[in-house]
Amino acid sequence: MSDSRAPTWWQREDLNYQNGNLHFAGHEVNGLAKRHGTPTFFYSAKRLTDNVQRLHTALQKAGLKDRYRVLFAMKANRFAPLLTHLKGTGLVGIDACSPNEAEHALSCGFRPQDISFTNTSLSRNDYDRLNRFDGISMNCDSLTCIRKWGEMGRGRNIGIRINPAIGLGRADNDKLQYSGANTTKFGIYREQFAEAIALAKQYDLTIAKIHFHTGCGYLTPQLDYWEGIIKECLWFVDQVKDTVKVVNVGGGLGVPHVAFDQPLDLDAWAQVLARHFLTRNVTIEVEPGDYLVKDSGILLLSVNTVELKRDKTFVGVNAGFNIALEPAVYNLPFQPLPATERTGRKQRVTIAGHINEALDIFYSDIELSPLQEADTLVLINAGAYSTSMASNHCMRGEFKEFLLY
Amino acid sequence: MSDSRAPTWWQREDLNYQNGNLHFAGHEVNGLAKRHGTPTFFYSAKRLTDNVQRLHTALQKAGLKDRYRVLFAMKANRFAPLLTHLKGTGLVGIDACSPNEAEHALSCGFRPQDISFTNTSLSRNDYDRLNRFDGISMNCDSLTCIRKWGEMGRGRNIGIRINPAIGLGRADNDKLQYSGANTTKFGIYREQFAEAIALAKQYDLTIAKIHFHTGCGYLTPQLDYWEGIIKECLWFVDQVKDTVKVVNVGGGLGVPHVAFDQPLDLDAWAQVLARHFLTRNVTIEVEPGDYLVKDSGILLLSVNTVELKRDKTFVGVNAGFNIALEPAVYNLPFQPLPATERTGRKQRVTIAGHINEALDIFYSDIELSPLQEADTLVLINAGAYSTSMASNHCMRGEFKEFLLY
């Protein structure tokens, strides 16, 4: 893994310097900036396909053959061309979490039966709308949901989102705890599971799926712990073993954000699934968001200022955390790369956004080749949870998006 | 201050229960929900006026007479009817931080000379647009800004945003540190101030204003510390005493969020200003955001679910942190109030949003009168940094806004 710790740990076939100029997805980044302006997000269609394909290959290799389904967590990125491209691969369905999302997926070519729906705290209007999407796979996140969905249509198959009371987020990040020691709002716990089964029976609903989502951003070092969580979840699966056909293991597959992150070993990951589910007669669903789109997307920015403040050199750019908030809000750094590498001694800089808020920092204290006003700067790993969570804070919400072939 | 620690610390003339039903700004909350639906923000025009008037009264009482100006930090809330109402009071100008904000303020009836502009990392296009707003008051946040603004028009008055390298945020909140021990991106430090003066001279610019913003959400207990910061800033003021006409002390005036917060003693606050600036021949500008609008706004939600999960009762509502993010992202709680107080034993509940993210909790573990599905729930203090930072995350971005007279 020594390569992944190098300063160029992010480098890959479709993202690298050629004669000092950064290239992405077959395009020179400076040319993209010149043509389309900044701030602009670019997504690589090929990288999207590669990410999907890599997941499939690992699942196939582990022996799961036709007993799995990959669903894209569209809350990570709902850019219509990107969704349609994923649909076009024929290899992914959709994980949706609101009626608007489900409808947007339909507008991009997906069918109701391609969609797995999981959400918490649904309104009456939400149920009415979902009920129109015949064939959608509903995962009930609460006793209330079983009751209401049952009232609207007896005799259906349902999934149940369970909560194993154990989970993992990225280290040091309490904002990403989905199912840890503290009781969270998600899913049905062991304590209420018998009631869930009884309620399903009351409405003649068949529990055909067990769903869980127990963390996010996990990489190879977390796989052992993740397997421990899977084992906890098997208790629920075995409670309904006569009816369960599908186990949805959620998303959470991470990508490296910094040099010392090791990439997720997909074969080891798929083997965990094979170990526990090959002997059980179930289909596996997995719902990656980050893993499919995060490293397919880059954000191009322009440098407005390079200035020493007291003892620190700040590089001020023309966008803020409101259009790419993972670094500021979730402590997930986006490696910055100058579009052109200048010769000369590297400079220690902090990349700052243009929003008047203290947290609006993209990267603190990093050695980069010298930057000047009007330079183009790239942030990598910006393909997930950037535009989908973007706001118009300070009326600085403008950006463009392009899918590159 | 014992009243402010009571369970009904939030109660005031325009926000209280009458016969068990919550009233706000002369309206029964259930009636508002019935007429307009949820999620909906309501703002009290009278409360806005009262908040502005209270500030003026305190500044007058402290002897500042016509030597002050109140500017609303519109990044807190840019709802056009609210801005126009504030303009109509004749008592406030605008603190804007982007060209779009400045233009939006103009669209609501403000004039360029009503606007004080402060921002970091401006683009060439930003400067071009600002240069068209003849009479706008420009506060340069960097040496770069002095140079570029000077290049566009010699011989003007400018303000300089300085950084005293000391600041305060709300206790325990490192996301709100604007000018603390760590070097931040904001303003010009002592180390570079001589260069700033020389640069202004080079472009024949007169430094007519010193601007600082050194924290946010401060209340009475922080006033001593805040005065210490003001004293640090006087060093900068005195460096340019021959030309400086205005000192802008930024915003940061807080409002109580929980029962043990004591409201800001405005008289004590104004006396700090009087103490340091009455003998200096300057006008004071203050740029409150929260203080003017936060407690003027409430958010009406509907209860979708009330359910025990393991050991905790969750009240699931029909909105998420994406339209009101201060509780989730900045740890600033919004006190929840049922629209109707039911009799019977209070219930310990956690108010959860409908977004599939772990951080989407509005309030943890609070005793409330019993809630049921379809009830209306109010979150108070939702008038600032809610809609202005709202996103369409999970395509759950819908809300309405109303100004109530």
Average pLDDT over residues A168-193: 75
Residue-wise pLDDT tens digits, A295-348: 999 999 999 999 999 999 999 999 999 999 999 988 899 999 999 999 889 999
DSSP string, A243-292: T--EEE----B----STTPPPP-HHHHHHHHHHHHTTTT-EEEE--SHHH
Q: What is the average pLDDT score of chain B? A: 94
Look at residues A79, A70, A71, A117 and name the one whose alpha carbon lies nearest to residue A98.
A117
Task: Answer yes or no: are the C-beta atoms of B366 and B312 closer than 8 Å.
Answer: no
Distance CA A340, CA B260 (A): 54
What is the share, in percent, of chain B residues with pLDDT greater than 70? 95
**Top-level CATH class of B15-44+295-404?**
mainly beta
Is the pLDDT reported for residue B297 higher than 60? yes
Chain A interface includes B121 (CB < 8 A)? yes
Average pLDDT over residues A95-100: 98
* Amino acid identity, position B206: T
How near does any CA of chain A get to the CA of B187, in Å? 8
Residue of B nearest to A146 (CA): B305
- CB–CB of A317 and B165 under 8 A? no
Average pLDDT over residues B349-362: 95
> What number of other Cβ atoms are within 10 A of residue A128's Cβ?
11
Is the pLDDT reported for residue B1 higher than 50? no
Mutant choice from B122, B174, B395 vs A, greatest count of A C-beta within 10 A: B395
Residue-wise pLDDT tens digits, B45-83: 999 999 999 999 999 999 999 999 999 999 999 999 999
Domain segments of chain B as ranges? 15-44+295-404, 67-288
Give the position of tokens 């639906």: B37
Task: Answer yes or no: are the C-beta atoms of A278 and A73 closer than 8 Å.
Answer: no
- CB–CB of A354 and B121 under 8 A? yes
Average pLDDT over residues B237-262: 95
Give the position of tokens 């129109």: A132
**If pLDDT is split at 50, 70 and 90, which confidence band does B214 have?**
confident
- CB–CB of B163 and A309 under 8 A? yes
pLDDT of residue A7: 75
**If pLDDT is split at 50, 70 and 90, which confidence band does B172 have?**
very low
Note which residues in 362-401 of chain B have CB less than 8 A from chain A. 373-374, 388-396
Is the pLDDT reported for residue A374 higher than 70? yes
* Amino acid identity, position A60: Q
Model pTM?
Answer: 0.95
pLDDT of residue B3: 43
Average pLDDT over residues B372-396: 98
Is the pLDDT reported for residue A172 higher than 60? no
Residue A119 with chain B: CB contacts under 8 Å: 354, 356
Note which residues in 317-346 of chain B have CB less than 8 A from chain A. 317-318, 322, 329
pLDDT of residue A166: 83
B67-288 placed in CATH 3.20.20.10: yes
- Residues in contact with B290: Cβ distance below 8 Å, sequence separation at least 6, in sequence order: B76, B216, B217, B251, B253, B254, B255, B384, B385
Is the pLDDT reported for residue B14 higher than 50? yes
pLDDT of residue A225: 92
ipTM over 0.85: yes
- Residues in contact with B294: Cβ distance below 8 Å, sequence separation at least 6, in sequence order: B76, B255, B381, B382, B383, B384
Q: Is A334 helix (H, G, I), strand (E, B) or coil?
A: coil
Look at residues A265, A171, A252 and name the one whose alpha carbon lies nearest to residue A216.
A252
Give the position of tokens 């008592």: B91
Mutant choice from B116, B357, B371 vs A, greatest count of A C-beta within 10 A: B357
| Alpha-carbon distances of A174 from A60, A180, B332, rounded to whole Å | 34, 10, 16
Is the pLDDT reported for residue A107 higher than 70? yes
A49-63, A108-122, B119-133, B205-219: lowest mean pLDDT where?
B205-219
Name the more confident of A49 and B5. Answer: A49
Average pLDDT over residues A227-253: 96
**If pLDDT is split at 50, 70 and 90, which confidence band does A167 have?**
confident
Is the pLDDT reported for residue B170 higher than 70? no
Note which residues in 165-224 of chain A have CB less than 8 A from chain B. 165, 169, 175-178, 183-192, 213
Distance CA A405, CA A397 (A): 26
**If pLDDT is split at 50, 70 and 90, which confidence band does A214 have?**
confident
Half-sphere exposure of A176 (CA within 13 A, CB side): 18
Q: Which two tokens stand for residue A275?
A: 């170990």
Q: State the greatest distance between any 2 C-alpha atoms of chain A, in Å, as a whole number.
A: 73
